[in-house]
Amino acid sequence: MNNPARRQRPTIHDVARVAGVSRGTVSRVLNGGHHVSPAAAEAVNAAIRRTGYVVNRHARSLITGRSGSAAFLLTEPQERFFEDPNFNVLLRGCTQALAAHDIPLLLMIAGSRDEQRRIVRYVTAGHVDGVLLVSSRTGDPVAAQLARAGTPVVACGKPMDPRAGRLAHVAADDREGAREMVRHLLSAGRRRIATIAGPQDTPGGVDRLAGYREVLAEAGLPFQETLVETGDYGRAGGRACAERLLARHPDVDALFVASDLMARGALEALGDAGRSVPDDVAVGGFDDSSAALASAPALTTVRQPWDRISQEMVRVLLDRIAGEDTSAVILPTELVVRETG
Amino acid sequence: MNNPARRQRPTIHDVARVAGVSRGTVSRVLNGGHHVSPAAAEAVNAAIRRTGYVVNRHARSLITGRSGSAAFLLTEPQERFFEDPNFNVLLRGCTQALAAHDIPLLLMIAGSRDEQRRIVRYVTAGHVDGVLLVSSRTGDPVAAQLARAGTPVVACGKPMDPRAGRLAHVAADDREGAREMVRHLLSAGRRRIATIAGPQDTPGGVDRLAGYREVLAEAGLPFQETLVETGDYGRAGGRACAERLLARHPDVDALFVASDLMARGALEALGDAGRSVPDDVAVGGFDDSSAALASAPALTTVRQPWDRISQEMVRVLLDRIAGEDTSAVILPTELVVRETG
DNA sequence: TTCTTCACTGTGCACGTTCACAGAATCAGC
DNA sequence: GCTGATTCTGTGAACGTGCACAGTGAAGAA
């Protein structure tokens, strides 16, 4: 207007004029093409190509009440996620799965309380049609607030909170993954199997420990509290846990570790203690993160299907946005046998 | 409020009614508060709190022609970025810097040609006010198309293309970083310094090699082509390069490697060849990625200020959106001396 | 007083789209 | 050729906001 240099973008009006039809017909072609004659549709498409028309999403959103976008929301301990290469796979997978539906992804990070409030306001104001939530800790207030406001939410990973039963989520089968790994160690003849569990306020930590206990019980082996150490998913923690386990049980012949990072720390501790892996002690990790291959020996681990998880999260979210009440999705893990066990 | 079936969000109209003023006054309070009496402003703010009003950005964008959002666009070799922990720092930094201005970030990944076309259309249609571009390769058609359409763009890293001179960018000073590292190796008494360069179609690869050559020349040391190998920034490539260098020059006493990942590969090769680090051979990396600390010995390297880079990228982008023609920003690197040299 | 200036406030319009509705065109069946 | 059914098309009315403009009243200058 006041700026003559700025080119006016073509509107649906221009397309209608060029095609020799009305706005309504162009709109119908844009959204599904029902109740439009082939001739009109062809004329409209040609006009769209000729004018280079692109729909104005703001105008559309204003009338439909939908934004046509979704948020990828990260809450709480961001550092852990940002250091985890698997997180990148998840983020990329979600971005591309949404892009296939022409839905842009908004990345939001809720660190401080202020940021959380700001994001909740933004989302509940309807600026986003749904939320892909990543938050491993229990009792996330953001999830509850969004759910209360009626915003479609799909979480990554099983929520701890039993009250959050209605929260849709997509997760790998941690328990079965742990079971498979421990069965694998047993079938290799290991009998004194210790575990380094994850934090017990995370569902992954709980379920992987549960799987470990179950398989030992099924194999008729006694469960010993002293064979369990609990770490923080980090490398240093894994190392310390392994040192304590070795001090208590020098005769341990296998270690099931709830994360690859902790497993790497455990490998260092085993090396320092003069144990050979896997001859003296077998080690099984969890995650199949890049840490599993970071150095020799390559880690035997449990792979979580992050690419499929992201695809399913998007699918479930779109279902929920469309009003369908898709329930939780649990995906199988995969045992990856490498050199440590 | 308690009627979920017919829940209308409060509009600027409702706020005006509650506050006892007109829409115009509410709008003025919302955007800066100029020409509003303190009493009216207070009444409006109270009404906003009481009604829980949040501005409808779609309606605002429709009239202002601005979306109030920015895109973080990743083109070409996504894998390399997604495996690089520094990329996460950059992405997080940009997200948070934009959030401080209440601007949501849209994450876009342009892998295929089709995706590129789709994204260019989306952006040039005005659905985004500006683009933070990450693309290490030269001659990116996306950058050119966006620039031609007049979209504000800020790239991360120096563009190779001399024609792209007008492309705003924020980068670390690769050349000076390399110079500092090589000077450091010289000052430690090293004289037979080889280098594993990065791909010569990336500006980082070119500048780091240039810095290496310059400092050697300044020190009066002859430049030898045979002391240079070119890798792909990856671990395996670094290992192969180091092996070739050792075969040609068994007497090499220092290695300047253009990435930490390649440096780790080089350390493996040195270990296999029976060289002790840093006693026989000093090794300097580049990036200060998590690979630098991943295992012993900890890598001496050059840190790029990714947090500051992200902040500057956002600052420059906002400047450009506001119409100011901020030029390129080059930020200093930092030498991090650890165990390898 | 009267005129000017200034800060403040209200009103109509425009932004580009979708949607409901009504009207036009086509077609089958007699 | 008429009827009713069906498919297609055009039109006006929103959606919620910012902006230009006009209008109000008060303070200061002549």
Q: Look at residue A164 in the predicted model and tell me its pLDDT.
A: 57
pLDDT of residue A203: 84
Check residue A204 and give its pLDDT: 87
- What whole-number distance in Å separates Cα of residue B271 and Cα of residue A295? 13
Q: Which residue minimizes Cα–C1' distance to D7?
A: A35
Q: What does the pLDDT look like over B170-215, one tens digit per residue?
A: 999 999 999 999 999 999 999 999 999 999 988 889 999 999 999 9
CATH number of A174-303: 3.40.50.2300
Range with top average pLDDT, A156-160, A166-170, B77-81? A166-170
Q: Residue A3's pLDDT is what?
A: 35
8 Å CB contact between B73 and B110: yes
Q: Is the pLDDT at A299 greater than 50, yes or no?
A: yes
Domain layout of chain A by residue ranges: 12-55, 70-173+307-332, 174-303
With an 8 Å Cβ cutoff, are A122 and B91 in contact? no
Q: Which of B69, B118, B294 sits opposite A294 (nearest CB)?
A: B294
How many Å apart are CA B283 and CA B267, to the nearest integer? 8
Q: Is there a contact between B294 and A289 (Cβ–Cβ < 8 Å)?
A: no
The pair of three-digit structure tokens given for residue B142, joined into one six-digit string: 């996306």
The kind and range of the H/E element at B246 are helix B235-248
Reading phi first (left if > 0) and then psi (alpha if -120 to 50, else beta), residue B162 is in alpha
Residue A127: which of B57, B78, B106 has the nearest Cβ? B57
In angstroms, how far is D7 C1' from A21 CA?
Answer: 16
Q: Under an 8 A CB cutoff, do A54 and B106 touch? A: no
Nearest-nucleotide field for B60 (CA, C1') = D17
Quickly count: other Cβ atoms within 10 Å of residue A102's Cβ: 10
Quote the longest CA-to-CA distance of chain A: 85
Contacts with A150 from chain B: Cβ below 8 Å: 4, 7
Whole-number pLDDT of residue A83: 67
Q: How many angstroms separate the CA atoms of B313 and B330, rounded? A: 11
Cα B202 to chain centroid, rounded? 14
| A96 close to B (CB below 8 A) | yes
Mutate to test the interface with B, among A88, A112, A115 (most CBs of B within 10 A): A88
Percent residues over pLDDT 70 in chain B? 92
The dihedral sign for the CA sequence B141, B262, A300, A82: negative
A340 vs A160, higher pLDDT: A340
In angstroms, the separation between the Cα of residue A183 and the nearest Cα of chain B is 30
Using the structure, give the distance in angstroms from the CA atom of B146 to the C1' atom of C7, rounded to a whole number.
43
Contact B96 A109 (CB under 8 A): yes
Answer whether A216's CB lies under 8 Å from A179's CB.
Answer: no
pLDDT at B163: 59
Strands (E), chain A: 70-75, 105-110, 130-134, 153-156, 168-172, 193-197, 228-230, 254-257, 282-284, 301-303, 329-331, 334-336
Q: What is the pLDDT of residue A157?
A: 86
* Residue B4 reports pLDDT greater than 50: no
Predicted pLDDT of residue B312: 97
> Residues of A from 53 to 82 whose C-beta is within 7 A of strand C: which are they?
53, 55-56, 59-60, 62-64
Given an 8 Å threshold on Cβ–Cβ distance, is A9 in contact with B125?
Answer: yes
- Judge contact between A124 and A149, C-beta under 8 A: yes
**Structure confidence at residue B3 as a pLDDT band (50, 70, 90):** very low
Tell me if A57 and B9 make a contact (CB, 8 A cut-off).
Answer: no
What local confidence, expressed as pLDDT, does residue B61 receive? 96
Q: Which nucleotide is nearest to A24 (CA to C1')?
A: D10
The reply to whether CATH 3.40.630.30 applies to domain B4-55 is no
Give the Cα separation of A286 and A299 in Å (integer).
9
Residues of chain B found within 8 Å of residue A98, distances taken between Cβ atoms: none
Q: State which residues between 176 and 215 of chain A bring their CB within 7 Å of strand C.
A: none
Most trustworthy range by pLDDT among A111-115, A164-168, B36-40: B36-40
Over 70: is that where the pLDDT of A138 sits? no
Task: Give the per-residue pLDDT at A261.
Answer: 86
Architecture of domain B70-173+307-331: 3-Layer(aba) Sandwich (3.40)
Residue A143's nearest CA partner among A116, A178, A108 is: A116
Residue A5: pLDDT band (50, 70, 90) is: very low
Beta-ladder partners of B72: B107, B132
Q: What architecture (CATH level 2) is domain A12-55?
A: Orthogonal Bundle (1.10)
How sure is the predictor about B7, in pLDDT bands with cuts at 50, 70 and 90?
low
- Quick check: B139 pLDDT over 70? no
CATH, range A70-173+307-332: 3.40.50.2300
pLDDT band at B2 (very low <50, low <70, confident <90, very high): very low
| Residue B177 Cα, gap to closest chain A Cα (Å) | 25
pLDDT at A1: 34
> Is some CB atom of chain B closer than 8 A to the CB atom of A295?
yes
Q: Percent of chain A, pLDDT > 70?
A: 92
What whole-number distance in Å separates Cα of residue A37 and Cα of residue A176? 55
**Pick from A83, A92, A124: CB nearest B85:** A83
Residue A139, pLDDT above cutoff 90: no
* HEC-encoded secondary structure of A75-129: ECCHHHHHHCHHHHHHHHHHHHHHHCCCCCEEEEEECCHHHHHHHHHHHHHHHCC
The pLDDT score that the predictor gives to residue A159 is 77
**Whether B23 CB is under 7 Å from strand D:** yes
| Closest residue, by C-alpha, to the C1' of D15 | A63
Distance from CA of A221 to the nearest CA of B (A): 36
- Tell me the Cα Rg of chain A: 26
Output A73 or B2, whichever has higher pLDDT. Answer: A73
The dihedral region occupied by A326, where left means phi > 0, alpha psi between -120 and 50, and beta the remainder, is: beta
User: Mean pLDDT in chain B?
Assistant: 90
Distance, in Å, from the CA atom of A154 to the CA atom of A152, rounded to the nearest integer, reads: 7
Q: Is A86 on the interface with B (CB under 8 A)?
A: no
| Strand C and B28 CB separated by under 7 Å | yes
CB of A100 within 8 Å of a chain B CB? The answer is: no
Q: Do domains A12-55 and A174-303 have the same CATH topology?
A: no
Tens digits of residue pLDDT in A243-298: 999 999 999 999 999 999 899 999 999 999 999 989 999 999 998 887 667 667 89
Q: CA of A35 vs C1' of D3, distance in Å? A: 23
Does the pLDDT at position B263 exceed 90? yes
